Structure formats: C-alpha cells, structure tokens
A and B are shown apart, each in its own frame.
Chain A
Amino acid sequence: MDKTIDAIINNYNRDKNRLMDILIDTQDTLGCVPDSAAEQIADALDISKVDLEQTLSFYHFFSKEQRGKYTVYLNNSAVANMYGRKEVARIFEEEAGCKFGEVTKDGLIGLFDTSCIGMNDQEPAALINGVVFTMLTPYRVRELVKGMRKGLKVEELLRTGYGDGNNSSPLIRSAVNNHIMEKGPVLSEDYVPGDAIKKIIKLDPAEVIEEVKNSNIRGRGGAGFPTGLKWDFCRRAKDKRRFVFCNADEGEPGTFKDRVILTERPRLLFEGMAVAAYAIGAAEGILYLRYEYKYLKKFLENILDEMRSKNLLGKNIASKKGFDFDIRIQLGAGAYVCGEESALIESAEGKRGEPRDRPPFPVEKGYLGHPTVVNNVETLCSVVKVMLYGGEWYRSFGTDESTGTKLLCVSGDCHYPGVYELEWGFSVADILEMVGAENVQAVQVGGPSGTCIGPDGFERILGYEDLATGGSLIIIGPHRDVLRDIVLNFMDFFIEESCGSCTPCRTLPVAIREKLIKIIEGRGVMQDLMDIERWRFIMKVNRCGLGHTALNPVLSTLKNLRHLYLDLIQKEVEYDTGFRLDEAVKEGKLVTNRT
C-alpha cells in the first residue's frame, strides 16, 4: 500500500463520490494513475476496478502512463490554428524531439493536444503542468523547451510577466489577460459584496423567485431555460436536501467569459449562488470548475474563506437564522460534455461524464439523487443585480424575449478580441464594427454547436429569438478556408468529445467528416450534400445537447455558406463514392514490390 495515495484518499474521507478529486490529486502527485494506484483507490473506496477504470479512462487529463515531467497541452481550437498553432506545434516537436501524443525518451517533455482551454483571445495557448502560457510563438517555444531542459520550475518559465487585473494577484500569478472591452451590469465595478444577501433575507424565498421570474432572465449557458422557473421547480421538490451547482465548465470553443468573471468578479458569483440557495432552500453548493481553470482554484478558495469570515457564507448567513449555505469547488478533468448539466452532476459524483436520461430532471433528482439547480456562472452573477435593482430594471436591458446583457467572447480575425458585455439585441454587423473586423467572410455564433453565418446574415440579432449564443463569437476573415480551417476542426472536436453513449453521436459525425474531406478534396457530388441533409435527423435521438448539435458545423455552413460546397463538388458527375483504385493499391504495390 502506498502511503501517499492513502493520505489522498483519507483527505476525501474515503468517499467514493469524491473519486474525481482523488484521481486528480493522484495524477498531480505521481504524474499518472498507474494500475497499482487504481487498484488501491478502488479497494479503499469499495468500488469495482472496472467502475474506477470507467472514470479514469473518460477524462482527457488522466493517464495511466507518465506524461512527462513537463506536460504540454497545446490548445487545438480553430482560432489557435488561425493564430499559428501549426508552426508552434512543429517547433515544439522539433525542439523536444517527440511527436504530439508522445513523451520524450528521457521522460522530460510530453506533448499533447487538447480542446479549447478558454484562451481564444490570446492564442496559441498551452497548459504546461497546469500553468497557462498564452500567445506562443516559435521563438517563445524554443525558449520554453530550453528552460525545461535546464530543469526550471514551470513558474520560472513564465518570464513574460503576468496579465491584467487579478491575473497578477499573488494567488493567481498567471500570464492570462482579461481583455475586458465593454462593461455592463455583470462586470460593473459598482458592486459591494453582500448587499444582495442583506436585501434578500428580508424577503420570502418565494418572493426572490418571483423577482427572478419578473426579470425574465434565461440561462446563459446557451440553452436559455428561464432561471426563475428552474428555481421554482427545484423549490417545489419534496426532498429537503437540495444543491446549488454553478457550471463553470465552459468548454464551448471560443467561450472565455466565465474565466474573466471568475478572475474579476468571484464574489458576485458566490453571492449569486447564495441567492439561489436561499431561494430554493439549499444548504450545499458546488462550483464545478473545469480543469483548465485550475490555476484559479487557490484564489477562489481564498475568496470563499473571506466570504465565510464576513458571514456571507456558512451558518446563519448575514445573521439570518437558518440561512446556512456553503460552497466547495469540484474540479473537472477535461471533458466538454460535462458542461451538460446532468453529465456535470455525474462527474461531480465521481463517475464518467455521461449525460443522464431525462426525466427526471436535475431539479427533481440531481446530485446524489437530490434536487439540484445547475446554473451558468453568468446567470448567477446577473441574478445578484436583479435582486439589487429589481426585475423591472433588468428588463430595461435587451429585448422582450432576451432580457439583460450577455458577455460576448470575441475572437478570431478582428482588431479587438476580448469580452464585451452588451445588451441582447445588437446585430452581428454592429458587433463586427465594434470589434474592428473588416471584410468578414463568416461569423461562428455560439461556438461549434452554434450557427455559422455569412454576410447576408449579419443583420440578424443576438438573442434567444434569433441567434442564441452562450457567448462565443468567432470571426472568420476573408482569407480563411472555412471548410478546411474551421468546419473540419469543429467536426474533429465533436468526434473527440462525444461520450460515445448514443450510437448516432458516436458514428455519424465520423461519417459526415469523411464526406466533408471527400468534398474538400474535390471528389464530392450533389448526392453527398443531400445525404448530409437527410441523415441529420437521426441525431435527434441522441440523449443530450452535444449529440443534437454535433453536426451543426457542417449543417449550418451548408445552409448559410452553401456556395463553399457548391464550388467544390463535381458538377459533371452524378455519383462518385470518392474511391480511387490507384490510391487504394499504392501501399499494396509498395509492400510487395510490384508496379
């Protein structure tokens, strides 16, 4: 028995629901979770080895083998590629002497791809042993690898200085920049922690929910479910043990607003969780923080302590008898699908992040089977302002269908990428002007799962009634090859991130990707476009939002930028499978030395 691992297990009271934390600590301490450790953990938690294996193998940041003393996870998002990721990756491979997906022979450096790490406004970016490195260049990469060979600490490699705002505070010290370009109610500096709590404790919880309903605020994660209604459902559940979850697993490529809120307005967020707790009658809260933002954990824990000491969390909050609520941070370990609320709950319980069948919905049976409200970071922050200034005030922002403001994450081909807090209802054209984007070919609204629009759609407005978005706006300039650089990258993303549970989601994106490549290589025919448009319906049987939207990169470009496809397909040929005999026999001839 390994004493280090035993200590880690004991840290979490040998609780099988804390398997994620135990695996994360083991991975961080040993550099991997070897079979011996896995066996020991399974025994100690009294779960089967297979169950443990399920969790261990599901998450991107867990491994059974060593991933190097310095583990580089280089972001592979479309925007990273726009900003020179390919060259950066090449230099990493050249300098380290191993390929991506491998570790150097001496075990010093491991190079790995990773999905969007929430740094789209400062790409190419990488996580090295959990530390974020932004705006990488070939020169910088050479420097980094040199530093690794010298055995410098990861922090010592960060020689470019720290980012703006709290990014340079002693508990964060990261090179990340906030790039806040426009402030509104959520990002406003005009905020005194605790004011909303002091106000709500004079109200009945039902009145709090009424006010939230009155504001018409809808979930900011992208799906747009009315927040007040969700809280009401949870409050009506019979079970008295209830939970408030904050979903800080922002994995939609191109989204980074939660990172900025967590860095600059963490008290606002935690106060929002307390408001939700008061409204639904929950005593326990969990912030599910994506692993990529682990660098904020110490800072956030410190804020939680500060709020406890000010009686804004803990027992009898703000001296209100019986208002008990506290928050713990649950780290993820790299899985986009965990942004789906039921998958997130599964993950927080220490399992694979597979979405659940619904009903029952989390508000009825959520975390550990208890009623649970899962809200987006931005939703919870907005709610604090709703409670401070009233639902009617909040409705004065935005449109009838989409009230309030939205934090937009702008990245790609524009002069001023960053976070813009704007009222709902701006047209895409307005925003393009604001962010300094010219001759734009297309805009990806809402990330890969959203919609790609061309110039004829730029008058459309952002809002649940037209273009819904969780925040991501990726601007695609005139010189980009949309299908190859963007759509193909997005399809790879969905194939990588599917949990694999529903067959259409596991297989159809692969088939459609093959078609896309066939079209890009000039072998496509009209039949391929028709196949894609006919086959898409089967995606409706998938269990969760990922499965419903995994073909959107192709479908929305096929709809809104159809000319890109029509230009590439063969016009004179009615049918072509894409098969080429001369290519298919190339290897066979080579191996057998025939001509």
Chain B
Amino acid sequence: MSKPIVATTSLAGCFGCHMSFLDIDERILDLIELVEFNKSPINDIKKFTKMCDIGLIEGGCCNDENVHILKDFRAHCKILVSVGECAIMGGLPALRNSFSLKECLDEAYLNGPSVVANNEEGVIPNDEELPILLDKVYPCHEVVRIDYHLPGCPPSADLIFDALYALVTNQPLKLPYEVVKFD
C-alpha cells in the first residue's frame, strides 16, 4: 500500500506553525517512513503533482492569492486541517478586521507616523504582481470546508505530530491537558 500523502502551506501566517512542525526533531525520520510529502514549503514542491490525503493549512486568508491556494488545497486534499490560531480564527492579521481596508492602507502608506516624506504622490502599492487584499482577514473555514482544527499559537510539535500520526494510522488522537492548555 502506498504511503499517505501530505501537503502543507502557509497563507496569512508567520510560518510559526511550520517552525513548530519542524520541532518534532528526529521524529521527522519516523514521519517520512510513514508519509510522503507533496506540495509544501518543507520540500519546496510548488505545485500539486497528485491528489493528497492530508493538507495542513497555516494562516487565514488576507488576499486573493491565499484564497486560490486554499481552494487548490481543498481540491487536492481529502482532509484539510486548519493548523493554529490564524487558520482557525484569523489570528493577529485579523486585528485589522475592526477597521476598513482603506483605513488600514491609509495608515500604512499615507498618514501613519512611520510614513516618511518619500511617498509624496500618496501611492498605495498597486502593482499587478501583488495579490489583491481582501476586505477583511478570513479564517479558512469561512472560505472552504475544513475537516479538523488544531489549536495553538503555534500548536506544539507534539500536538501536530500526534494529530498527523493519529490521522494516518486511523487511531483516536490523545489530547492530554498540557497539549491543549495554552495559557
């Protein structure tokens, strides 16, 4: 039987969840015995080359590119997991949700105290190459169907490893108090 295939991505996140993932240390050797990786920043595969079993999503959606990637993940993964606060709730990026996008950009590029005199024309970055920002930051499950949520900022390496292990071995996930107690 072929190994289950895992893909991962970081959307509007800080890569902290991926860093936490790498904190499984030597268990990564166990993991690659167990699963095969497809599209992921860990192996730098940029495009899906086949259907995957599990997709791990870090970060919510703050721009249209995030939405396209997330939808691509949904189309290519049987199970999608929101990993961490940003994917689940929007996290820090969602702090902007209490302001309009215009207010945020004005503050960042036109009127904010850190704006220096070199933006005299009052340009807000608008190059075609840049993704278009969404009106607010969306948690992943508000954009596509999400099957599981792994909470934490970031979720601990143990939690990520155990969850992945439970998923691929079809075992119930043990959730000791210390693993899900965050403050």
Contacts and interface: CB of A to CB of B under 8 A. Distances in A.
A589 interface: yes
A577 B135 CA distance: 16
A530 interface: no
Interface in A564-595: 575, 577-579, 581, 583-589, 591-594
A584 B101 contact: no
A588 B132 contact: yes
B128 A577 contact: no
> How many interface residues does chain B have, given as a range?
20 to 34
B21 interface: no
Contact of A584 (B105, B125, B135, B141): B135
A592 B131 CA distance: 11
B64 A591 contact: no
A591 B124 contact: yes
B145 interface: yes
B67 A581 contact: yes
Contacts of A575: 145
B144 interface: yes
A569 to B, nearest CB: 16
Given A581-B64, A581-B67, A594-B128, A588 B143 contact: no
Interface in B59-89: 63-64, 67
A530 B68 CA distance: 28
A298 B142 CA distance: 54
Nearest to B125: A592
Given A594-B126, A594-B128, A588 B142 contact: no
Contacts of A585: 64, 132-135
Contacts of A586: 135
A29 B135 CA distance: 44
B144 A577 contact: yes
B126 A587 contact: no
Contact of B134 (A577, A584, A592, A593): A584
A591 B101 contact: yes
A575 B133 CA distance: 25
B109 to A, nearest CB: 10
Given A577-B143, A592-B126, A587 B138 contact: no
B181 interface: no
Contacts of A587: 100-102, 135
A587 B101 CA distance: 7
Given A577-B144, A579-B143, A581-B64, A588 B135 contact: yes
Majority-rule SS of B interface residues: mixed
Contact of B126 (A577, A579, A583, A593): A593
B124 A592 contact: yes
Contacts of A579: 67, 138, 142-144
Contact of A591 (B67, B102, B138): B102
Nearest to B70: A579
B8 to A, nearest CB: 21
Nearest to A579: B143
Contacts of B105: 591-592
A584 B136 CA distance: 8
A593 B105 CA distance: 13
B102 A577 contact: no
A589 B128 CA distance: 11
B176 to A, nearest CB: 24
Contacts of A583: 135
Interface in B13-66: 63-64
A156 B91 CA distance: 55
Given A579-B138, A584-B138, A588-B101, A594 B143 contact: no
A62 to B, nearest CB: 24
Interface string B117-158: 000000011101000111110100111110000000000000
A581 B142 CA distance: 11
B91 to A, nearest CB: 17
Contacts of B138: 579, 584
A312 to B, nearest CB: 56
Q: Give the most central of B125, B128, B134, B136: most A CB within 10 Å.
A: B134
Contacts of B64: 581, 584-585, 588
A579 B142 CA distance: 6
Nearest to B146: A577
B143 A592 contact: no
Given A581-B64, A587-B102, A591-B124, 6 more contacts: A579-B138, A581-B67, A584-B64, A587-B101, A592-B105, A594-B132
23 contacts: A575-B145, A577-B145, A578-B142, A583-B135, A584-B64, A584-B135, A585-B133, A585-B134, A585-B135, A587-B101, A587-B135, A588-B101, A588-B132, A588-B133, A589-B132, A591-B101, A591-B102, A591-B105, A591-B124, A592-B126, A592-B133, A594-B128, A594-B132
